Amino acid sequence: MRDPIQSPEPAEPRLDAVPPHVTAEDYAEVLQGRADALAEAAAEEREYVTSVTDMVADGVPVRLYVPAGPKGTWRELQQAKPA
């Protein structure tokens, strides 16, 4: 039995589904904007993360990314400081 606090597994979004109140011509602009944003994000340099944690915040599933920082983890930066 699933924990009642956690929401069900999210369904995969359908990017090609057009709501009934939006015409296909109007929605084509939205799809093009999404494609442009995905292409731009894919071209960016990847950032290193120290950890990734899945959790539930007020009933909403979230994923927490902890960045590694410019030269590594916080602990590594502290150890690298001259005394």
CA distances from 49 to 41, 72, 79 (A): 17, 9, 19
pLDDT digits (tens, 9 = 90+) for 6-25: 555 666 666 666 666 667 77
Whether the pLDDT of residue 26 is over 90: the answer is no
Answer for the pair 67, 46: CB distance below 8 angstroms, yes or no: no
Q: Any residues with CB less than 8 A from the CB of 5 and at least 6 apart, and which?
A: 56, 59
**pTM, whole model, 2 decimals?**
0.39
The helix (H) or strand (E) run that includes residue 37 is helix 24-43
